[in-house]
Structure 1
Amino acid sequence: MATVTFPKKSVAVNPLKQSQPLGAALAFLGLKGVMPLFHGSQGCTAFAKVMLVRHFREAIPLSTTAMTEVSTILGGEDNIEQAILTLMEKSKPEILGLCTTGLTETRGDDMEGILRNIRNRHPELYDLPIVFAATPDFKGALQDGFAAAIESIVKELPQPGEIKLDQINILASSAFTPGDLQEIKEIVSAFGLKPIVVPDLSASLDGHLDDSYSAVTGGGTTLAELRQMGSSVFTLALGESVRAAAESLQKQFGIPYEVFGQLTGLAAVDDFLQGLIDLSGNSVPEKYCHQRRQLQDAMLDTHFYFGRKRVSLALEPDLLWSISWFLRSMGTEIHAAVTTTKSPLLEQLPVESVTVGDLEDFEQLAVGSDLLIANSHAKAIAHRLDTPFYRLGFPIFDRLGNGQRCTVGYRGTTQLLFDLGNLFLEAEEAKKH
């Protein structure tokens, strides 16, 4: 078992993690017609919006209750009420995703009581679903906020109904990109199953031009689909962090679930497809049999460059788990692992020690590595250590195409193998010269 360490520093130097409200906003953006609303100061919302815009290079709908010093002391109920009414009038959202921030969590606003009072004063709001997620940014990380938003969504919106034998729920953690979710939806649909994906970033942040401008998200999981989740026959939880949301659906509607910690790597994808065979009763489509043979050939072609290589990673726990075990299956050694927040997965990683820390810790631990894997903030570290660098996670602001990037399934795993293998190949050539 890996040892989990927490550096006893008084301050984070070169932070790795992103905040919980940012993670919750990202999850809400996977719903159609949604407007994420931060209950906090304008700066909290502006910072999150900049991060999302730089990563996806898309217009991001995001709003704020614009708390000031006075309203923070006296209470933010008036600010929330005014923000909701203004958004109703101007943006006309189908769903409102309300997130707290460190400012309002520290003050201790009674959010459920405030929302109840606002609805009593404004009966016209009864038809507007308001999903509230408690996301203090003084603890946890992006993955925690993302999971908290999904758990709130499945508690608030699904309704009971007659079971549909071909319909399944897919709860996806923050480890999956819009491109990943598009591939997952195609695989599931190929088995004759109808997936309801929460959140479906592949329909909102995949990088496409809409026919007309909208102040809210133009794609994603619809409210009607969210209501129908209680009629699904099974739930696939993709990532350990969304296990609680799957358990919530099971408790409310009796829907069984299974957690898949990774969908990258030959064995992981085999397990996922076997689960779909069991659910649908259908055999694997020939398309994926061929992609599997392509992946096998790619593993043969690239394993010369992966064997005994030392790789250091700085990622959110779910993504760290997936990539670490994938690399381990290719014969690499995990030289160092740094993550952002606690997770039951950390002790089971294929490494002696895992550090819940920052990029300063990562730089110290990664000395002697053959490859670094982290978000774009680690670029300067890779330059100082003179080590090849592969960008993964959030944010990636110095590369294009983040909305369509795919590293899951047989096809995505093959592409990831070639991308990493080419980095190792270039490093070997440079060393020879």
Structure 2
Amino acid sequence: MKSTTKTPTPSYVSTTNACKLCKPLGACIAFRGIEGCVPYLHGSQGCATYMRRYIISHFREPIDIASSSLSEKHAVYGGGPNLKKGIINVINKYNAKVVGIATTCLTETIGDDVPMLLKEFRQEVSAEHLPLLVNVSTPSYSGTHMEGFHATVRAAIDQLAGKQETAETTPINLLPGLVSPGDIRHLKQILEDFHIDGIVLPDISETLDAPAQLDYEKIPEGGTAIADIQRMGNARATLEFGRTHCLSKSTGGKLLASRFQVPHFPLGLPIGLRETDRFFATLEDVCNTAIPRKYELDRGRLVDAYVDSHKYLFGKKAVVYGEEDLVVGMTAFLAEIGIVPVLCATGGKSGHLAEAIAAVTDDILSAPPLVCENIDFYEIAEQIETLAPDLLVGTSKGYPISRKLNIPLIRVGFPIHDRFGGQRTLHLAYGGTQSLLDTIVNAIIEKKQADSPIGYGYL
């Protein structure tokens, strides 16, 4: 059995409510997960304003995104002078340790050579404590927010990581992708329970979900320490999440493997029993340490919950949409619990989604789901009317479809704008899977109660 990718061929060329976000937005989130870093967009002011508002709506945390604020004049004559002035302003105002510079459609279209401009800037400015400058190419027209996120992680490794000859420890690198701050905290706790010196890049667990402060901090505490990034070449292994992402030619983990000979372990997002088992088994092998008892108990409780929930879930149909690796992880999980994924949809177009879906479902599902890449929500809605699913699983951008067709929506991933606590949503490992399972079962029960003419008080 093999899943097939379907690329819709409508009779129109417009995109209606894209099932993706823009590339520099992902870069801003990734930069926010580096210690002392200020994200800086080389482009127009509107890009930074839009992304600040979008990120704040999900994480409910303030975020400053600097901008070179290009105008029509700079589109003609080039944005180099504004780029340099903007960096000086960031240095003076924020005292940043890192300035993370991402390009936008405008500066990529006019052809600004950012690496060359930064080289000139370093020669022109004799600042004693010049921050680290990390740049990444992220034009929106060439990809999604996830591609921008992963490109930024790779750029940080490429431009900052090294190998220390006198290193005292050999850490383990963990590249989790764009998961929630709650997930990052959970992963860090797992590494701690394994007694692992772990480096998580990026780490948004505090920078995008901080405690209340008496005074506003321009740059919040937290993020992956620069010193830790600089010693990633000393690691005994790199664990990198994302079945579709890890199929691409160049990732942060593959760069560490080729440059510093750090063993690379590509894994799916640990959602569901089997993908989480693979994650823990890899930790056991790499660390030569048995899984801590607390996670054996978590796994046992999850198996028990699978059994208890089967009568509610078996045979239900679901549409899963969003960024590619989250779609793969959620599809693997849904298939395990007896729900049939009938459509797996994404706005990305890596070409790897069908392959990744098949890898996690071939031995579970009797028929492959429909897999659609480069799709928007207008096209998803057209498919849903034919497929008649019982559940939608994805971001809050699918709410209009959920409301119109009266189909429960399980909100996962980024962005979640119409519910509270998206930054704390747990998706990963046995604990995150248990939380997702409870949410899904209760959504099914609630729909059954709401549709019943008499209601049910005991199910």
Question: TM-score scaled by structure 2?
Answer: 0.91
Of 202, 208, 211, the match for 1:208: 211
Alpha-carbon distance between aligned partners in 2 of 1:275 and 1:310, rounded to the nearest angstrom: 32
Is structure 2 residue 305 aligned with structure 1 residue 304? no
CA offset at residue 83 of structure 1? 0.2
CA offset at residue 191 of structure 1? 1.1
CA offset at residue 212 of structure 1? 4.2
Matched position secondary structure for 2:41 = strand
**Compared CA separation, residues 157 and 269, structure 1 to 2 (3 A):** same
Deviation readout 1:384-413 (Å, 9 max, x if unpaired): 111111112221111111222111111111
CA offset at residue 165 of structure 1? 5.3
Is structure 2 residue 237 aligned with structure 1 residue 219? no
Structure 1: 5+ residue stretches without partners:
none
Matched letter for residue 334 of structure 2: L
User: Hey, what does 1:115 align to over in structure 2?
Assistant: 118
Q: Across the two proteins, how many residue pairs are aligned to each other?
A: 432
Of 381, 394, 417, the match for 2:437: 417
Matched position secondary structure for 1:66 = coil
Matched letter for residue 123 of structure 1: S
User: Hey, what does 2:34 align to over in structure 1?
Assistant: 31
User: Hey, what does 1:106 align to over in structure 2?
Assistant: 109
User: Hey, what does 2:173 align to over in structure 1?
Assistant: 169
What is the root-mean-square deviation of aligned Cα atoms in Å? 1.6
Contact 1:16/1:357, CA 8 A, preserved across alignment = yes
CA offset at residue 6 of structure 1? 2.8
User: Hey, what does 1:287 align to over in structure 2?
Assistant: 294
Higher mean alpha-carbon deviation, 387-396 vs 99-108, is at 387-396
Alpha-carbon distance between aligned partners in 2 of 1:325 and 1:127, rounded to the nearest angstrom: 46
Alpha-carbon distance between aligned partners in 1 of 2:298 and 2:414, rounded to the nearest angstrom: 28
Of 391, 396, 400, the match for 2:420: 400
Percent identity among equivalent residues? 31
Contact 1:375/1:394, CA 8 A, preserved across alignment = yes
Deviation readout 1:132-152 (Å, 9 max, x if unpaired): 110001121111000000010
Matched letter for residue 77 of structure 1: G
Deviation readout 1:290-347 (Å, 9 max, x if unpaired): 1111101111111112211110122100100100111011121112222011235312
Matched letter for residue 431 of structure 2: R
Alpha-carbon distance between aligned partners in 2 of 1:62 and 1:91, rounded to the nearest angstrom: 11
Matched position secondary structure for 2:148 = helix
Alpha-carbon distance between aligned partners in 1 of 2:449 and 2:170, rounded to the nearest angstrom: 51
CA offset at residue 374 of structure 1? 2.1
Contact 1:61/1:217, CA 8 A, preserved across alignment = no
**Compared CA separation, residues 164 and 333, structure 1 to 2 (3 A):** farther
User: Hey, what does 2:269 align to over in structure 1?
Assistant: 262
Matched position secondary structure for 1:230 = helix
Q: Moved runs in structure 1, 4+ residues, more than 6 A? A: none
**Compared CA separation, residues 362 and 234, structure 1 to 2 (3 A):** same
Matched position secondary structure for 1:138 = helix
Contact 1:166/1:193, CA 8 A, preserved across alignment = no
Structure 2: 5+ residue stretches without partners:
358-367, 454-459
Of 342, 345, 352, the match for 2:370: 352
CA offset at residue 166 of structure 1? 4.7
Contact 1:311/1:335, CA 8 A, preserved across alignment = yes
Contact 1:75/1:109, CA 8 A, preserved across alignment = yes
CA offset at residue 52 of structure 1? 0.3
More strand by share: 1
